[in-house]
Amino acid sequence: MKPYIYMLFGFSGIWAGPVQSQDLAEDTIPRILEMPQITVVQERDGLFGRTPGSVSYVSSVRIRRLAPFSGNEVFKVVPGVHVMDEEGAGLRLNLGIRGLDPDRSRGVLVLEDGLPVALAPYGEPEMYYTPAMERMSAIEVVKGNGQILFGPQTIGGVVNYITADPPAQPEGFIRLQGGQGGLFQAQAGYGATLGHVGYHFHYLHKQADRIAYVGYRIEDLTGKLRFRLSRASSLGLKFSLYDEWSDATYLGLTQTMFERGGEDFVQMAPDDQLNIRRYAASLTHSWKAGPATEWKTVLFGYTTTRNWQRQDFSSSAQSSPKTGVIWGDTLMTSGAIYMLDKVSHRNRQFEVGGLDSRLSHQHRLFGPEQQLDLGIRLLFERAFEQRVNGSRSDAASGNLVEDEERTGRAVSVHVQNRWSLGRSLTLTAGLRGEWFDYEREIFRGTFSGSVRDTFVRAGHEILTFIPGAGINWSPVPGYTVFAGVHRGFAPPRVKDAITQAGEALDLEAELSWNSEIGLRKAPESFLGWELTGFLLDFSNQIIPVSQSSGGSGTGLVNGGETRHLGLEAQIDLRLGQWLGRRHQLDLVTSATLTHATFSSDRFVSSGNEMVNIKGNRTPYAPTYLQSATLSYAWSGLFGVNLHALFTGEQFGDELNTTTPSADGRIGRIDGFRVMDVNAFYQMQRIPLRIGFSVKNVTDERYIVTRRPQGIRLGLPRYFSGSLEYRF
């Protein structure tokens, strides 16, 4: 029985800091037919000398070793990445890179197989839908200059989820997993190639009665087809369906509830529920016009429905109508939560469609070997939003109080050229142009305290150019010095840039200059490592004050100048070569130091005075992150994996308030350590693998976030087991 390893489509491969030699060996088995899809990093062979900046790659082998309970655990091993767990089950991705606020991953461009997955890539880039890690063959994170080939966000980095491709030979698997809290998960995948047609299908069902703060039911179906039209061209078709029900809520613990314990994961709003349904499809054509030229064009579209029913509550005893359910301490101002007998349905639907075409051409203009990348993308997005207020806490419908439509049209173009000056030096320079025209139309809203029909329309245009340049130099074989600089850009959310009254606010685009310099050693022997220094210098950073970020729900504001200075390091030690052929022992560890502060005068209200927050740390930017993974395997039949994560302290507000507020939403978040362990046994006579996992072995009790509306704790000690059969 051969290993069931799915390679990265369309990538000759990438490096994630140091990568284990076994991972590289298994990932280069030529068993997968390349899908004609748009890729983020294009060449494994030229990885160490040609990647214009830092790139992290988590292979299928390492994902299996981590045995992740959620996708969040995979991103926690990537240097420079801070993941904020919202509900404990990892259903929503809240990811910040190099000190950026992780709320809903707004500062990160998230892709799947090279295509955007956010609700609306330009106007509302929130990650309410997160691709399921269970169906991924690899993950990559691009933090340097290479991200200007994609957009619109080029602020923090690009995250690309990579799904399995059609295999050359028939392969399949069935996997069952169970755990505490009624966890049951079943997934199956099968693929093959018949003549000139390859296919792969994956189905996932997962459910839980209650894990930490949430119970859920999820169905996820993905299919990929590859048609070889000729020696030079191929066609790829991909479709997916995602359906989720969860009893997710924004409501968290008050400070009193946290301190007295016993109510860590109580269901405070039992009628809250979130429904998400997403349909997506893409059609890609690839044509190789000779050995030096390749042209890829993809037509894609998806629609996402996000309806969220949330019970109303108040911190005031005077609010009505109350249900009689009270949480917290009524003797403290803002220390209690009074549940109200009414509900709000926040219903949203998003439509996204686009055409992306890219040309790659190798040439020798003026002598040196070069590669030219050209591309254009047309995109249309539309959002429908309604708010329906019900007169009971469990009302399924009610009165329409808000109704609006938001549209956006975008055109982006990019050009990048890479010069190979001998075997040791590579120069890269590129330019991206972004044009975005957006409009907001309001048909019903609340004006001067009363709900009425209206017609308000306003719009705006943004045109910007994003340059970038990088260098890679290998003074001696196996060592590479890299450096790069590029313009960071993210457009403002349409809902925040135009008020309900139709006034176009002066909400600027998020702009920065991002630079980095680093040195990496290729993992050619027992040791590989990478060291990177970075600087993100914002002329204007957008600070979230939305409800998901714990604010009043008014959206985003101009945060002014901020500066993110830091250092990332990763070391890969392969120690098994001294233990004999049947033993494998690997240690991968990474650490990140980040100093993210407001770098210019900015005054915010604190009580009865205005305080200058210059020099204060930006919210939810830990100063220190460390991850370490120790893996041991014997003859591929038995293995144990230990993973430890340390997250440094962080603040929940711009004022860097240390003393917690009574409602729990403001205050310092202390650093915490979490350790996970998992093991597997591979049976010899049948291709059956038995797995066992323990998350948070020491049962550490710690605050993950004070968002959205109160304290959320990390997942307590959690046990699960799995069976996996491959054929």
- Among 7-11, 78-82, 150-154, 568-572, where is mean pLDDT lowest? 7-11
* pLDDT over 90 at 46, yes or no: no
Q: Which tens digits make up the pLDDT trace of 326-348?
A: 999 999 999 999 999 999 999 99
275: closest CA among 304, 250, 312? 304
In eight-state DSSP terms, residue 530 is E
DSSP string, 636-659: TTEEEEEEEEEE--EESSTT---S
Average pLDDT, the chain: 87
* pLDDT over 80 at 12, yes or no: no
Q: Tokens at residue 358, please?
A: 């890219």
* Position 541 confidence tier, pLDDT thresholds 50, 70, 90: confident
- Predicted pLDDT at 145: 79
* pLDDT over 50 at 30, yes or no: no
For 604, the 3-state DSSP assignment is strand
* Position 13 confidence tier, pLDDT thresholds 50, 70, 90: very low
434: closest CA among 180, 121, 646? 121
* pLDDT over 60 at 546, yes or no: no
Q: Which tens digits make up the pLDDT trace of 451-496?
A: 989 888 888 889 999 999 999 998 998 898 999 999 999 887 777 7
Higher pLDDT pick, 157 / 281: 281
* pLDDT over 60 at 555, yes or no: no
With tokens 């045995």, the residue in question is: 67
Q: Which tens digits make up the pLDDT trace of 640-673?
A: 999 999 999 999 998 999 999 999 999 999 999 9
Distance (Å, whole) CA 299 – CA 354: 6
Mean pLDDT of 397-406: 95
Other Cβ atoms less than 10 A from the Cβ of 29: the count is 13
Mean pLDDT of 171-200: 96
- Predicted pLDDT at 505: 60
DSSP string, 228-251: E-SSSEEEEEEEEEEEEEE---SB
Mean pLDDT of 621-634: 95
- Predicted pLDDT at 48: 39
Distance (Å, whole) CA 66 – CA 631: 9
* Position 51 confidence tier, pLDDT thresholds 50, 70, 90: low
* pLDDT over 70 at 500, yes or no: no
- Predicted pLDDT at 156: 86
DSSP string, 344-365: EEEEEEEEEEEEEEEEEEEE-T
Which range, 245-259, 439-453, 476-490, 510-524, has the best average confidence (pLDDT)? 245-259
- Predicted pLDDT at 34: 58
* pLDDT over 80 at 279, yes or no: yes
* pLDDT over 90 at 41, yes or no: no
- Predicted pLDDT at 548: 47
Q: CA 527: distance to chain centroid?
A: 29
Q: CA 318: distance to chain centroid?
A: 41
Mean pLDDT of 257-261: 94
Q: Which tens digits make up the pLDDT trace of 691-715?
A: 999 999 999 999 999 988 999 999 9
- Predicted pLDDT at 557: 56
Distance (Å, whole) CA 438 – CA 539: 23
Distance (Å, whole) CA 402 – CA 404: 7
- Predicted pLDDT at 65: 85
Amino acid identity at 694: V
* pLDDT over 80 at 611, yes or no: yes
- Predicted pLDDT at 3: 32
Q: Which tens digits make up the pLDDT trace of 97-140?
A: 999 999 889 889 999 999 999 999 999 999 999 999 999 999 98
Overall pTM surpassing 0.85 (yes/no):
yes
The full set of domain ranges for the chain reads 21-726
Q: How many percent of the chain have pLDDT more than 90? A: 69
Distance (Å, whole) CA 619 – CA 24: 38
Mean pLDDT of 359-380: 94
Distance (Å, whole) CA 625 – CA 591: 6
CATH architecture of the domain formed by 21-726: Beta Barrel (2.40)
* pLDDT over 50 at 538, yes or no: yes
* Position 2 confidence tier, pLDDT thresholds 50, 70, 90: very low
Distance (Å, whole) CA 590 – CA 424: 27
